Amino acid sequence: MANKQQKSDTQNASYDFDAIIIGTGPGGEGAAMKLSKLDQSVAVIERYKKVGGGCTHWGTIPSKALRQSVSQLIQYNSNPLFANIEKPKHLTFPDILGHASSVIDKQVRLRSGFYNRNRVTNFHGQAEFVDAHHVKITLDDGSIEVISANSIIIATGSRPYHPDNVDFSHPRVYDSDSILSLKHDPRQIIIYGAGVIGSEYASIFRGLDVKVDLINTRDRLLSFLDDEMSDSLSYHLWNNGVVIRHGEQIERVETTDNAVIVHLDSGKKVKADCLLFANGRTGNTAELNLAAAGLSADGRGQIKVNGAYQTEVENIYAVGDVIGYPSLASAAYDQGRIAASAIINNGSVGKLIADIPTGIYTIPEISSVGKTELELTEAKIPYEVGRAQFKHLARAQIANSLVGSLKILFHRETKEILGIHCFGENAAEIIHIGQAIMQQKNGGNTIDYFVETTFNYPTMAEAFRVAALNGLNRLF
């Protein structure tokens, strides 16, 4: 059993810890740091050999590091300064994995330091509920340890969905986790699933001059985006040679020693060197023995929670991908902190901000905050649009990043900013300027701010001033 000195001197002295957190991704880390700084004794359980969760090891960090390397390669090859010096540079997927690995190592060291400095006890092994207060851990060496706590937070994240009719053990079939073990240099890849992950990897592989077939089960890309952003991405991928097949479903996957043939319900067949299956994710709950704690998960492995991230069992909370929407690392961290506050304050907590920004790291990237044009139209809100094209900005011309635009949606009468949508290099950074103004109270959130303030020149932030002037000129 855990060291009894780690018990709290509070009413929970019969337990080994005040709180146990299962998972060390953003949600688990946010909860652990919050609780430890409030003088709670905390244990975290991570089934992988290193902390960080799927976000650090297989998801957000590695895919964005890969994207950055490819983006820099594209910029180099398209820069007229280097065009006449030598033939275009070529990198393979294994080549750029080295940079991603170095970033992962740095993140692991950083996050390990957080847990150590805050005296959080780490266990590495598979967690399983014994009851609502006790968790059994099968440690890496095969031994068993049982620890207990007054409160437990489930932050186990999600994993790629594996349908039964796809053989993921075949060396040419990958999911969004196993693709990081790709060793060969494919000439053509099929990506099944055109959500955020599929679209990002389509950009990455096409940037490496790999032929890409992107199979979309829906009728448009990333339909949750503003239509113009979705259309911009579709056009840009198409213009760069990605073949997008909308409204398709896999019937079966045929594999050979050196190829994959995807048979679609429509009768089409697509052949490539390998397949990346990126169609859906499921919560990591199957091995937790939830029933022993009085819990259950839905068909997607997700756990239902209330506004304080409390499950149907009073002392157990859940945060991050394991509860579903919005399935963002940034939101998961905040959810963990909110759940920790709920534990300390008996359920009295804050909540996530209403307008959570989304960042999609395609090439170029996309970022949005607030309402889309379709949502405002359906709600019959009188809005106007202000636009700025990157190709007209001095900083974009200097950086040779001419593809992209910024769009501001604002109320025609009050001038309140209702939504901001950006497509282009550094969109996920640029969006935060607008987000900060949208959060202002007492009439501070208006498009006039961007006209009346002074921006550094030349900068990409100038797009806000250009878009604001463009929109205000439409008023009458």
Question: Do 288 and 123 form a contact (C-beta atoms < 8 A)?
Answer: no
Whether residue 385 is found in the same domain as residue 313: no
Task: Give pLDDT tens digits for 67-117.
Answer: 999 999 998 888 877 766 667 788 899 999 988 999 999 999 999 999 999
Would the pLDDT of 348 be above 80? Answer: no
**What b/e string do you get for 132-154 counting C-beta neighbours within 10 Å, with b at 16 or more?**
bbbbbbeeeeeeeeebbbbbbbb
Residue 294 lies in domain = 4-57+97-158+282-344
Alpha helices in 209-354 (DSSP H): 227-239, 329-344
Beta strands in 132-210 (DSSP E): 134-139, 144-154, 158-160, 173-175, 188-192
- Domain assignment present for 67: no
Task: Give 36's contacts (C-beta < 8 A, 6+ positions apart).
Answer: 42, 118, 119, 120
**Position 11 pLDDT exceeds 60:** no
Q: Reply yes or no on whether the pLDDT at 221 is more than 50.
A: yes
Amino acid making up residue 315:
N
Q: How confident is the model at residue 353 (pLDDT cuts 50, 70, 90)?
A: confident
The rounded distance, in Å, linking the Cα atoms of 211 and 244 is 11
> Judging by DSSP bridges, how do beta strands 281-283 and 158-160 pair with one another?
antiparallel
Residue 199 pLDDT greater than 50, yes or no: yes
Tens digit of each residue's pLDDT (9 = 90 or more) over 159-190: 999 999 999 999 999 999 999 999 989 999 99
**Domain-located, residue 74:** no
HEC assignment per residue over 23-72: CCCHHHHHHHHHHHHCCCCEEEEECCCCCCHHHHHCCHHHHHHHHHHHHH
- The chain-wide mean pLDDT, for the chain, equals 93
90 found inside a domain: no
Average pLDDT score over residue span 203-208: 96
Lowest mean pLDDT among 151-155, 310-314, 322-326, 442-446: 442-446
Q: Give a yes or no: residue 180 inside a domain.
A: yes
Q: Alpha carbon 4 to chain centroid distance?
A: 38
Q: What percent of the chain has pLDDT over 70?
A: 96
Do 19 and 146 belong together in one domain?
yes
% the chain with pLDDT above 90: 88
Q: How many structural domains are present in the chain? A: 3
417-434 in b/e form (b: 16+ CB < 10 A) is bbbbbbbbbbbbebbebb
Q: Give the three-class secondary structure for 147.
A: strand
What pLDDT is recorded for position 105?
Answer: 96
- Report pLDDT for 85: 65
154 in the same domain as 17? yes
Q: Is 241:247 a contact under the CB 8 Å cutoff?
A: no
Both 327 and 378 in a single domain?
A: no
> Do 32 and 138 have their domain in common?
yes
